[in-house]
Amino acid sequence: MTEIFINSFGTTFKAIFEILLISVAAGVLMRKNILTQEQLKGLSAIGIRVLLPCLIFSNIIKTFDPGLYKFWPLIALSAVLMVGFGLFISAILFWPNLREKKYLLAPAALQNGGYLILPLGKMLYPKQFDEFAMYCFLFLLGLSPLLWSLGRYLISPADGEKLTWRELFSPPFYANIFSVLIVLLGLKWIVPSVVLDATDLVGTAAVPVATFVLGAVLGSISLNIKAYWGNAIKVLSVRLIAVPLATIFVLWLMKISTTYPLLCSLLVLQSSSSPATSLILQVKHYGGEEEELGSILFLSYIACIITIPFWLAVWTAITV
């Protein structure tokens, strides 16, 4: 078991280190003003509005089979349950000052379900990436609305701008819903193969662009780690310890590792992922504790170099 743990840890560590190395390079470009905020905004918009929806659409149409994956609604539900557990534990930790500290519940409960997990899956499971990505997108069906509604409510001041429906349902979410409906209604035939191939070609750029944007966003935030160390420990203890530990325990009780090993690995990775970088984008737009949230996000991505490989290695070791 020890050898299995070490091998799994080493493989995952190498993959996430390579991802964060790209992110660091992007962050340096931002710090040196080689890449401007306007350019980052444009690149992020292309990723969110074009590349990621194309990847989602082509992947779901090609890979999703509701007859083969009859449990698919439970994948979206697992995202809701995961967020709910994170909210519950973090609310306990911040209970004495919950009203003043509600913005800290967002990074504790809402993870980076796409921009970190997709590149990681691409490196860890290259031959199974289409299936891995499909599971990931079904998971995002549950996570994405919460990120842009609950997350927006938690991190922004009470007197901030009202959330609009357009902000709640982002292009990737629309692509998810639209492609799933096409499959469920048996309408795959209406999508010409040339359109599907072209969409797939555009979507291949989503993962590297997402990795670059992740680093650029982290490189553009204000940091003051010493001032927020205490709150950061509470947030990261929920996001990187309590949630993955609970997820692994539940998956172990369900005994589905032999039937759906890739799905289990995806859920372990999702549970141990760092807070969503979209939270800092929301703070920049709507206002809020940008420096504190930025510092916590920065620490989380440093910590996850160890924690993500650790939890996946634990899961691999106990299910062999």
Q: What is the pLDDT of residues 156-177, one digit of tens each?
A: 765 455 555 565 567 888 888 8
Task: Evaluate whether 84 touches 274 at the Cβ level (below 8 Å).
Answer: no
Alpha carbon separation from 284 to 43, 132, 182, 220, 291 (Å, rounded)? 17, 32, 36, 11, 10
Q: Is residue 246 classed as helix, strand or coil in its secondary structure?
A: helix
Q: What is the mean pLDDT of the chain?
A: 86
Alpha carbon separation from 186 to 65, 129, 190, 192, 270 (Å, rounded)? 10, 24, 9, 14, 30
Q: Where are the alpha helices (DSSP H) in 69-128?
A: 72-93, 105-109, 117-124
pLDDT more than 90, % of the chain: 36
Report CA torsion sign: 126, 131, 134, 136. negative
* pLDDT per position as a tens digit, 17-26: 888 788 788 8
Amino acid at 232: A
pLDDT at 134 > cutoff 80: yes
Which residue did the predictor score with more confidence, 283 or 285? 283
Distance CA 312, CA 59 (A): 24
Distance CA 226, CA 269 (A): 28
Residue 38 burial (CB < 10 Å; 0-12/13-18/19+)? exposed
Q: Is it true that domain 2-318 has CATH number 3.30.70? A: no
pLDDT of residue 166: 61
Question: Domain residues of the chain, as ranges?
Answer: 2-318
* pLDDT per position as a tens digit, 28-71: 888 888 888 788 878 888 887 888 889 889 999 988 888 888 88
Residue 86 burial (CB < 10 Å; 0-12/13-18/19+)? buried
pLDDT of residue 313: 94
pLDDT of residue 266: 96
Residues 26-35 as b or e (16 or more Cβ within 10 Å = b): bbebbeeeeb
